[in-house]
Structure formats: C-alpha cells, structure tokens
Amino acid sequence: NAGVMQNPRHLVRRRGQEARLRCSPMKGHSHVYWYRQLPEEGLKFMVYLQKENIIDESGMPKERFSAEFPKEGPSILRIQQVVRGDSAAYFCASSPRGTATEAFFGQGTRLTVV
Amino acid sequence: KNEVEQSPQNLTAQEGEFITINCSYSVGISALHWLQQHPGGGIVSLFMLSSGKKKHGRLIATINIQEKHSSLHITASHPRDSAVYICAVGLQTSGSRLTFGEGTQLTVNP
C-alpha cells in the first residue's frame, strides 16, 4: 500500500506561470488536505477536499489558488500567475475518514518561483 | 496568541541525553499529532494521541487533556534524531483540519 504520493517533488516556475501540484492519496482514502509551509514559518491549512467536493477552503488565498479532487485521478492544487511569495513547500495529507488527525502526509512539493 | 504553542523553539543536545519538547494548546481538541520533519524532507507522523501515553522505541508521547498539554520525550538521543518536531492538533472549533505549532528544531551533537 503506497503512501501519499506527491509530484513533482521540486517545481521551479517563473513569475506569471502556472503551477500544478498533484497529490495521490493512500488507497482507500477519500479525504485530502493541503497545507503550505512558507520559508521559516510553520505549516498552515489551505483546503480540505473530499472526492468531487471542497469541504473547507478557508485557508486558501482568495485569488490565483484553486484545488480539486476529481472522481478519478489525483487531487490538484493549482496556482495561477505565480509570484515569489508563493515559494514554499506544499504538503498533502489523506485520511480514510474526515478526521485530520488520522491523516498521513506526503513528501511535499517544493515550489520555487524565480 | 497562537492556539498551539511549542517550546523550546530550538534545542541542542549531546548524544545520549534525554530530551523533552512541550506543546500547549488553548482550546479543546479531538486529538494531537507529533510530527517529524528532516531538512528538505517530508513529514512523518510519530504519534497520534487523544489521551494518556504512547511509546515507540526511544520516543514517548504524553498528553494531559485537563491541562491542555503534551510532551514528546526522546531517550538516549542520537544525531539522527536531529530534525524539526511539530505538534499538530485537531481543534474542536476548526472542523477536521490540523492546526500546527511552530516546531522545535532539535540538533543532537555526537
């Protein structure tokens, strides 16, 4: 049973480009959480999704950021028109139920905006 | 004031020392995680606690629900224990997401 898979592990984008981060949850897990870790800062919640539904997006920046978790395929965190301040590590976690404390984390995607 | 406070922020120890990292939280929780993050690495869940005490190898985690406090102990510390240790809670007021402490940077010198 593979763990939570995130790809790419490292992503470099120029300012203004789009970044797409993918998260494949553990088998049997239908709940996905995205967290962001800015340089020298702690982890912060971004969004919680269940298959085909956004349950809680209260941590998402209002503009340029979106997330989806389709019926088939991985969850995608999409950042449009990236800026330097988007440079961070983005972690995905999945859980079998809607209980964040039972979640398993992926290795993260480190986004660098140049 | 953060809802989850960790102390100390930085900790340096000699190999073999007993280490304690503390976590306090200000509201009711459903459960608490201790996480480990190596530099540039992913996040590994060490323990999930809702009461009492858990032990895994040289790691021990305790939680006191009444005092809203948890501790992570490392016995016979080793340089490979050097990492950031993060306390994360599922707050009763925040639905089903985690709220994190700022982390404790542990360095164990040989």
Whole-angstrom CA distances from A11 to A39, A68, B3, B40, B76 are 15, 19, 32, 14, 38
User: With b meaning 16 or more CB within 10 Å and e meaning fewer, what string describes A88-114?
Assistant: bbbbbbbbeebebbbbbbbbbbbbebe
Select from B43, B92, B102, B104 the residue whose CB has the most chain A CBs within 10 Å, as the one to mutate to test that interface.
B43
Contact yes or no for A48 and B95 at CB 8 A: yes
Tokens of B57: 């190898």
pLDDT band per the 50, 70, 90 thresholds, residue B29? confident
Scanning every residue of chain B, which has its alpha carbon at the shortest distance from the alpha carbon of A97? B96
Which residues in chain B touch residue A98, judged by CB atoms under 8 angstroms apart? Answer: 96
pLDDT for A46 equals 96
Distance from CA of A42 to the nearest CA of B (A): 5
CB A48 within 8 A of CB A55: yes
How high is the pLDDT of residue B41?
Answer: 79
Q: How far is B38 from chain A (nearest CA, A)?
A: 11
pLDDT of B90: 87
Q: A49 - beta bridge partners?
A: A32, A54
* pLDDT number for residue B71: 98
> What is the tens place of the pLDDT at every residue in B36-94?
998 877 889 899 998 999 999 999 999 999 999 999 999 999 999 999 999 999 877 76
pLDDT at B95: 63
Pairing mode of beta strands A104-105, B4-7: unpaired
Q: What is the pLDDT of residue B4?
A: 92
pLDDT along chain A (114 residues), means of 10: 88 98 94 92 93 92 95 96 97 86 88 97
State the pLDDT at residue B3: 87
Position B1 confidence tier, pLDDT thresholds 50, 70, 90: low
| Beta-ladder partners of A6 | A23
